Structure 1
Amino acid sequence: MNKVPHLIFVMYLFATNCSCYRPNFILLFADDLGFGDLGCYGHPTSLTTNLDRLAAGGLRFTDFYCTSPVCSPSRASLLTGRYQTRSGVYPGVFYPGSRGGLPLNETTIAETLKPLGYATAAIGKWHLGLGENGKYLPTRQGFDHFLGVPYSHDMGPCQNLTCFPPDIKCFGKCDVGVVTVPLMNNDVIKQQPVDFVTLEQAYSDFATDFIRQSASKQQPFFLYYSSHHTHYPQFAGPGAAGGSRRGPFGDALLEFDNTVGILLSVLEQTGALNNTLILFTSDNGPELMRMSRGGNAGLLKCGKGTTYEGGMREPAIAYWPGTIEPGVTHELASTLDVLPTIAGLAKAKLPMVQLDGFDMIDILVKHGPSKRDAMMFYPTDPSEQYGLFALRLGKYKAHFYTRGAGHSETTPDHDCHIISFLKPHDPPLLFDLESDPSENYPLSLVGRPDLEAVLQRIQAVKKQFEDSMEFGESQIDKGSDPDLEPCCTPQCTPKPSCCQCG
């Protein structure tokens, strides 16, 4: 393929402010997917043909991080380019009746692109708050369209629901004592409880319609496709159920992968493929407490809920035919860097706030060096008292505190378990992640002035960062109100069990 014409086009794109030449963006965000879960990241039985295609034809990251080992704070950072501590999306996650949400004065990727004429849509899992009268939904945060669940799909009773055809019930009970999980179209409840067997098809149809309509209008678009897969409870429709060799988890992953293939096809059919940057990653590591239903961190230590590598290092792929040369990058990058990168490519104005991200354009287009030299690791419950739990600088990572998590139970490594209580480390545990990505062998400082110097640099970076950090008011500490739980028939009794459409 001759890439010169398209590269000239891209150079022109950087120089012009004409919206008709702006690139499209598709942001694919998996849920609880581990570093070792995809075929292109080494899993022997995962069937991820389309994601593997993106990796083979695009840029695969080996050192890409989220900002939190649980859902809501990680999503806040992705969409704002700011650590969750700044926006107040901590500790933990939002629930159906949460009073708080991602503050409306935070600027999302969608709000960054809207002034340039972009069409914007969010599909799937939101989990950044619902609030009174839907005040925190995506349509209040820069998105023209939303089809999805306002929180996590396990945040409602599921023991009698069907997760796989023909009538295989969901594994486990999920959350009881709250309303069944709703499917919302913008701010209107379309279905309650959600039909898991047809859900991904509904998302796929919505996404393809959005792309086709945008392309027909020659309008640049931003699609945020935040899949529920592969979070517990796994589910899949007839196109994927029983189709993998990996059981329910593998079937759920296969269904998500099939949707990626459908999106690639519609981009090709509309002629938009070569003008579309596709970014794929996940919100946090695997929920190992679910055992074979919970994902795989590969060679990384622990998983969801922890600040070890398995909790926050994610698979990530960037794909843009004709612009991104295929390859692998070991440069340090993060979900924080997505907003600045998209803004840079679209020639959009950055939000006038403290950003924690760096644009990745040099990494993507030139396979060049990263502007990021450090990554900060906050626990699920960050506080000014404890500050950072860990910090990576270059190839070295220092743990100031370590702690296990219930999400990472059942593994042979007892450091991952919930009974591995908070441990301070002075001096910090220091690992060389290039030679020991599994964090098995702390480096000894005895007779190593070079490592003493590394720790001094890390401490200096830590102090500078923590001095700049202003913790926002905790949105999750605002608590919950059962009356805020979304109900298709709000006047029914007894709530929550009566909240069902139809």
Structure 2
Amino acid sequence: MHMDYPGIIFIFTLLLLAGLDGDALPNFVLLFADDLGYGDLGSYGHPSSQTPNLDKLAANGLRFTDFYCTSPVCSPSRAALLTGRYQTRSGVYPGVFYPGSRGGLPLNETTLAEVLKPLGYATAIIGKWHLGLGANGMYLPIHQGFDHFLGVPYSHDQGPCSSLTCFPPDTKCYGTCDVGVVTVPLMSNDTIAKQPVSFPDLERAYVDYATNFIMKSAKSKEPFFLYYPSHHTHYPQFGGTEATGHTQRGRFGDSLYELDRTVGKIIQALEDSGVHNNTLVFFTADNGPELMRMSRGGNAGLLKCGKGTTYEGGMREPAIAYWPGRIQPGVTCELATILDILPTFAKLAGAKLPSVQLDGFDMSPILFDNGPGARKAVFYYPVDPSEKYGLFAVRVGKYKAHYYSRGSAQSSTTPDQDCSVLAFLKQHDPPLLFNLEIDPSENYNLSVVDDPEYKDVLEMIQGVKKEFEMGMVFGESQTSKGRDSALEPCCTPDCSPKPSCCTC
């Protein structure tokens, strides 16, 4: 039978979108670490971190050198990850959600899970949600496209923890967590399964849940999307029996090792269920390391500052794409961000994109062709973005311009005074200019150099900045809606006096 060239291309494209199994849609596993620094993984240069499973993914997959989150704190980055839109559009700013927050990720925003659901995908999340709880749990994952949820609805330090065990047999959680609110609950869908959560047992529960979800989906030949936003390595660190005391890097190292073990067990479940070769696994993190915790915080490697700042250490993250037989092992220096995950997964599944302004780009040319990506710029918003100040920094190609800079309490304790909470908001005119390819540590300001090339670069970046900001429409701030202690989850809601009586 004769087939012309366009016909062959058409069939090949259909097979590409359907995965190697021809009629099988690809599965997706999205791994999302918490407060992880650019220099924390073994594959990114840390000499004493034990991350063999993530390092194996990096060795057998595609490792990114220039991958970014969209905010130097948790909730905004998570909103951007799941919607493909800057947090300013969805209103997830300033700062983060708390147990009694009235707001949450707006229900009219379309999440990645909701993009995949119409194609028959089973969807599950295990771990940290942190995109709102609200009245009657209205913002929980099960109302945002996920069939199943096992995890904590916010950050695990947002509840009293000094009396709780973080490492067995009875090592109490180090330092101070939020007080005056309910103890941290473990939720199953919209029901509290345990309160307070048992930190040493948490990863075992997640592994069991993830394994069962993968096995069940594979057995029923149902495509699936598993989202694992880990609590590790956010403060306070915790770990189970198999991780405690295992590393040379102390409690942070043990916590990171437990995250790595969970990743390994998820990969093993993919192999055991026979869907390993039809699953794209993507790993990255929400923001940089909390340097204020010193040795109990993460490490930004050679990058400047960390969490809470718009320097590279606050927003450039490790990222790994792994798909056996589809993604060739290697390293890419192409620009990419968490915004690009939704359009990439949608393209591979053949899913329809939301009919709203998206800020992400399909990464397929980077992943499968080792080619240039569509993203040419990265935009840096602070913890508290506003229309008054706009973007704090813009990267175009290898150059980054800082229009404003500010330190953060979360990046204090380092010798670099630019990172300190005492480094107050400062406007730069002309902007600070760095060549990140030769100076990723942002040490050498090029705008003070008398070279017409740098003037041209700043004018070019200013044009990109202006065009982007003209198209940005700020949504109503969800975190500014305030808090109501009555919204804090309690397994015995009629108990008194709340919150201390919320235990089950």
Shorter-chain TM-score: which interval? over 0.9
- Flag the 1:190–1:477 CA change in 2: closer, same or farther, 3 A: same
1:187 counterpart residue number: 190
Give the number of equivalent residue pairs. Answer: 495
2:181 counterpart residue number: 178
Cα deviation for residue 465 of structure 1 reads 0.4
**Correspondent of 1:304 among 302, 307, 311:** 307
Cα deviation for residue 20 of structure 1 reads 4.6
CA contact (8 A) 2:15 2:22 kept: no
**Correspondent of 1:420 among 404, 417, 423:** 423
1:145 is the counterpart of 2:148: yes
SS of equivalent residue, structure 1 residue 157: coil
**Correspondent of 1:33 among 32, 36, 41:** 36
Cα deviation for residue 451 of structure 1 reads 1.1
**Correspondent of 1:129 among 126, 129, 132:** 132
1:72 counterpart residue number: 75
Task: Give the share of equivalent positions with the same residue, in percent.
Answer: 72
2:408 counterpart residue number: 405
**Correspondent of 1:210 among 195, 209, 213:** 213
Q: Structure 2 stretches of 5 or more lacking a match?
A: 1-8
CA contact (8 A) 2:18 2:26 kept: no
CA contact (8 A) 1:286 1:297 kept: yes
1:4 counterpart residue number: none
SS of equivalent residue, structure 2 residue 40: coil
Equivalent-residue separation in structure 2 for 1:10 and 1:414 (angstroms): 55
CA contact (8 A) 1:20 1:219 kept: no
Q: Structure 1 stretches of 5 or more lacking a match?
A: 1-6
Equivalent-residue separation in structure 1 for 2:326 and 2:249 (angstroms): 35
Deviations 1:396-441 (A, max 9, x none): 0000000000000100101000000000000100000001000011
- Flag the 1:478–1:19 CA change in 2: closer, same or farther, 3 A: farther
**Correspondent of 2:163 among 141, 160, 164:** 160
1:284 is the counterpart of 2:284: no
Deviations 1:157-211 (A, max 9, x none): 0000000000000001200000000000000000000000100100010000000
Equivalent-residue separation in structure 2 for 1:295 and 1:82 (angstroms): 27
CA contact (8 A) 1:445 1:451 kept: no
1:379 is the counterpart of 2:382: yes
1:3 counterpart residue number: none
Deviations 1:361-407 (A, max 9, x none): 00000111010000000000000000000000000000000000000
CA contact (8 A) 2:53 2:263 kept: yes
Equivalent-residue separation in structure 2 for 1:348 and 1:189 (angstroms): 33
1:440 counterpart residue number: 443
Equivalent-residue separation in structure 2 for 1:322 and 1:195 (angstroms): 39
Equivalent-residue separation in structure 2 for 1:332 and 1:390 (angstroms): 15
- Flag the 1:417–1:207 CA change in 2: closer, same or farther, 3 A: same
Equivalent-residue separation in structure 2 for 1:492 and 1:397 (angstroms): 54
SS of equivalent residue, structure 2 residue 446: coil
**Correspondent of 2:337 among 325, 331, 334:** 334
Cα deviation for residue 9 of structure 1 reads 10
**What TM-score comes out, normalization by structure 2 length?**
0.97
- Flag the 1:9–1:242 CA change in 2: closer, same or farther, 3 A: farther
Cα deviation for residue 447 of structure 1 reads 3.2
SS of equivalent residue, structure 1 residue 252: helix
Equivalent-residue separation in structure 2 for 1:437 and 1:151 (angstroms): 32
CA contact (8 A) 1:61 1:328 kept: yes
The one-letter amino acid paired with 1:89 is: V
1:14 is the counterpart of 2:16: yes
SS of equivalent residue, structure 2 residue 93: coil
RMSD between superposed Cα atoms in Å: 1.5
Equivalent-residue separation in structure 2 for 1:19 and 1:221 (angstroms): 16
SS of equivalent residue, structure 2 residue 395: strand
Cα deviation for residue 448 of structure 1 reads 1.4
Deviations 1:426-482 (A, max 9, x none): 010000000100001101454311111111110001000000000000000000000
Equivalent-residue separation in structure 2 for 1:102 and 1:311 (angstroms): 23
